[in-house]
Structure 1
Amino acid sequence: MPLTIGSKAHTRTIRLWPVGLVGRVSMVLLAAVVLVFLASAFFYEEAETYIDDDTRITQLAEELSTDLRVLRTTPISQRGLLGALLSDNGITVSWRPANQPVDLEQPHRLRHVEDSLVLNDRDLGRADIRVWADRADSSSIHGTLLLADGSRLAFSVPGILKHRHMTGGLASAAITAGAVALAAAMIVRSLSTPLRALAQVADSIAKSDDMRWTVLDERGPREVRGLARALNAMQDRIKRLINDRTEILAAVSHDLRTPLARLRLRAGFMDDAETQAAIEDDITEMEAMVTGVLAYLAGDLDPEPIKQVDLVAILNTLLDSQSDRGRETSYTGPDRCQARVRPLAIKRVFANLIDNACNYGGDAHVTLEAKDGNAVISVVDDGPGIPEAELEKVLSAFYRVEGSRSRATGGMGLGLAIVTREVARAGGQVALDNVPGRGLRVRVSLPLGAAQG
């Protein structure tokens, strides 16, 4: 919090709240120390009150001992009047003859007070001192002392116990502790809020594929502001690098189509049929690679809008296309299933899955189930499956399982990577497992509502 002093021409700003994180934490610690000091001073005052209570018990023992000795030497006829004369503002004394009954079995007898009085004067113990209170929480006491002739000296002392000191001390301690805890929590929360925002943005950078990142507010302590600026600059650099990489790869992949077409044309004029077939196979493989790269980068370069589509219609179209090629396919599920997705992206997802099932398993069996606001699509083949250790790795770009999915079959490790990315953009999930007695099963879960992002 800045404080400006001086005239308009010559001003000087004094910051009462430090700008640095170290300074702010130090200020919090200093405030806590000051509060503890004030609380300690208060509790010392309360301790002096307890000492004062002990002093009053000592004074009471001395007064009772004196009154007891005086009444012992006074004739019985004068003891009643003398008891009234011995009373003052601090203690009320009366004499009760031996034939006057006294109820000594009080429900709230204060034996600890009796012990304190006897400890100060042993003569009170020999006089069978009895002390009680009207209520358990009362600060006033009553009592009697036995004289040799069977009569008793009765006394009452108001407010000597002062239980309110203990209650007040505990309440003050609780209030002080609560105030310190609340102040510390509020200050620490204000210090940690920018750090939590930094953590959330850093986590979004790590998890987001479409670069829809949040720009951080540059506020808080100096160190946090510097970190926020660095993180914002890092986001800009990452976006530029990804865009440059995407554009370069897309341009190169697109420009390769022209020389590949010329190579295919020139190969057609070759006399050596064997060499011609080998060259055309290589060209076909390179075209598949270019097509795969362009498909992988298409989402970054040209994100399409979200629309309402029928997932069943897309699946049946793709399955019919495979059936026309002589592949065995089947579909099990409802006749319609509407979902809000990116149509071309989702069609590419299912096309990749069905193509993989037919290419590597010989057939494709698709099931669709709609439940809890999600559509769960399973694509199963009768192929060799994928080793358990490779199930997570095959979802990465350009990763191929050697021996089962080689480039000889047209794959280059982008099919499942495209599936994973596009399904994640739609707010869904992809899971792979091997079905006993069959082949690989790929399960795609898609929300039927609007896609995420």
Structure 2
Amino acid sequence: MSTGTTAAAPVAARAAPVVKGSRRYWPRPKSIAGQLALLVVAAIVAAHVAAAVALFALREPWRAETRPGVAANRLAVIARLLDETAPNERDAILTAARRSVPSLRLEAWQGTPPAVESEWLRERPIIGRLRDAFGRELAIANLAPDASPEEPPVLHVGLRTPAGAQLQATLPDDALEPPKRGAIIFTFLFLATTLTLLTVWATRALTAPLAQLAGAAEAFGTSRVPLPLPRRGPDEVLALAGALDRMRARVNRLIDDRTQMLAAISHDLRTPITRLRLRAEFIDDEQARERTLRDLDQMNALVEAALAYARDERVAENRSAAEKPLIDIASLVQTVCDDYSDTGADVTMEQARHVLIRAHPEDLERAVNNLVDNAVKYAGCARLSVSKSANGVAIEVADDGPGIPEAERHAMLQPFVRGDRARNLNDASGFGLGLSIVLAIVEAHDGRLTLENRPAGGLSARIELPSSLAVPGERAARQPEVA
């Protein structure tokens, strides 16, 4: 079977010319190693930039004491120092604290805290933080019972420690801000998501030429129209694409030469066979004449089979890009069954599921004919069925014959390989082209051929065809299966 059109011009192992206006102005390594290194460095730089932005956004202000929680903690520390210090040394500590933390407005206080602290003062969050930081009983008085006119609002309070140290201070009356855990978690999630997306995008861009190259290599030999090879990507991929394109051209040229040689030899053998037949008619010995004529008939049949095989390859190649008509596959199989039944062969249709597919009816009829002919020849009967499959339609031809040994099933799909190895050409039982022609037709329709021995005995040949055929050049490679 021809694997594609005659050799196209090999693709150059370098990037295609850049169209004016789409030129890239940023450097990029041309090798896979360089691009991987660039990807890693870019990911590390992006992570550091995102971490720096998060650190800048979540940093503490320069004057941390202006924050309510920080101010309450520092006031509690000063109060504990005064509480632990002798009374004659407290003024020095208070003076030093006033210079260190001017925002608290620390002053000495000689007032008396109320016996019962006001409910309003007790409910202030900053007072609760102050008591928690001090750690012991602390008497607090509100020195400004009226609402503070300052912006932001503040509390003027007087403190008295258990040791009798007293001072007054001003605290911000803002609500205590909880730690920015949500912002930190969001920052790291955003960083992880961004780096993941960046890595996936860059990796896909790097591996896309490899995937395209793998698809073209996989489709070579099964797709009539060769898939395009990558023209942009790392130098290694472009070099491999050029080598694959040149190899594809050489293989196509060899296959075309083989097909032409086979057709030419088979055609030229017709003339000497005809001359030998005429000369054989003058042989006096009747037995020798019959044997000679039988050998010539066998040679002529072999030539005709070889010509038909070469012709089928040409026809299939020419039809591959043509528009396939919509046909009812069950009606086509029923026609083949009726033709054999009319000749007295034991061929029956057991199941007929009407499914419409796009295919060449002449080619599919030839494939089903070959399968039925093999079943009738080696088993004496054939049972056909058409059913719905997972991806389209399945045609099955089953018989009750000896089947095919598992070790020989792959070889049976090759041209000029026969299943009756013990026979010779005098039996005129075929030349081993039937299954190879079926395989070529099925692959041309993007289908799959399966040979399997039935548990009850006999062989089951199954053709699976897609209900919607792919556009030429985009179909996935499928290999024949044997069970």
CA distance in structure 2 between the partners assigned to 1:35 and 1:409 by the alignment:
76
Instruction: Give the gaps of 5 or more residues in structure 1.
Output: 1-12, 74-86, 118-123, 132-139
1:237–1:452 distance in 2 versus 1, CA, 3 Å: same
1:112–1:360 distance in 2 versus 1, CA, 3 Å: farther
- 1:415 aligns with 434
Shift of 1:405: 7.3
CA distance in structure 2 between the partners assigned to 1:247 and 1:269 by the alignment:
35
**Structure 1, residues 207-229: CA drift from partner, whole Å, max 9, x if none?**
43x3x112224112333333333
1:337–1:105 distance in 2 versus 1, CA, 3 Å: closer
Match for 1:195 among 202, 210, 219? 210
- 1:428 aligns with 447
Percent of residue pairs bearing the same amino acid type: 30
Q: Does the alignment pair 1:346 with 2:346?
A: no
CA distance in structure 1 between the partners assigned to 2:105 and 2:315 by the alignment:
97
**Structure 1, residues 140-162: CA drift from partner, whole Å, max 9, x if none?**
99997653589998984667986
Q: 1:311–1:338: 8 Å Cα contact kept in structure 2?
A: yes
**Structure 1, residues 83-118: CA drift from partner, whole Å, max 9, x if none?**
xxxx96337899763521467997989999978x5x
Instruction: Give the gaps of 5 or more residues in structure 2.
Output: 1-23, 89-100, 141-153, 473-483
User: TM-score, structure 2 length as denominator?
Assistant: 0.67
Q: 1:378–1:441: 8 Å Cα contact kept in structure 2?
A: yes
1:436–1:271 distance in 2 versus 1, CA, 3 Å: farther
User: TM-score, structure 1 length as denominator?
Assistant: 0.71
CA distance in structure 1 between the partners assigned to 2:278 and 2:373 by the alignment:
28
Q: Does the alignment pair 1:21 with 2:32?
A: yes
In the comparison of the two structures, how many residue pairs are matched?
413
Question: Following superposition of structure 1 onto structure 2, how do residues 51-200 of structure 1 map, counting pairs within 5 Å?
Answer: 59-66=74-81, 68=83, 89-90=103-104, 97=113, 99-101=115-117, 124-125=134-135, 127-128=136-137, 146-147=161-162, 156=171, 163=178, 168-200=183-215
Shift of 1:432: 2.7
Q: 1:311–1:339: 8 Å Cα contact kept in structure 2?
A: yes
CA distance in structure 2 between the partners assigned to 1:258 and 1:100 by the alignment:
131
Q: 1 or 2 for the larger relative contact order (CA 8 Å, sep ≥6)?
A: 2
Q: Does the alignment pair 1:287 with 2:303?
A: no
Q: 1:425–1:452: 8 Å Cα contact kept in structure 2?
A: no
Shift of 1:394: 2.5
Question: Following superposition of structure 1 onto structure 2, how do residues 261-340 of structure 1 map, counting pairs within 5 Å?
Answer: 261-303=274-316, 304=319, 305=322, 306-308=324-326, 311=329, 314-315=332-333, 318-319=336-337, 321-323=339-341, 326-333=344-351, 340=358
- 2:236 aligns with 223
One-letter amino acid of the counterpart of residue 241, structure 2: A
- 2:403 aligns with 385
CA RMSD in angstroms, aligned pairs only: 4.9
- 2:479 aligns with none
CA distance in structure 2 between the partners assigned to 1:196 and 1:382 by the alignment:
45
* Worse-superposed segment, 185-194 or 168-177: 168-177
1:401 aligned counterpart, secondary structure: coil
* Worse-superposed segment, 240-249 or 314-323: 314-323
1:193–1:107 distance in 2 versus 1, CA, 3 Å: farther
1:396 aligned counterpart, secondary structure: coil
One-letter amino acid of the counterpart of residue 237, structure 1: R
CA distance in structure 2 between the partners assigned to 1:49 and 1:338 by the alignment:
72
Q: 1:145–1:154: 8 Å Cα contact kept in structure 2?
A: no
1:256 aligned counterpart, secondary structure: helix
* Worse-superposed segment, 88-97 or 377-386: 88-97
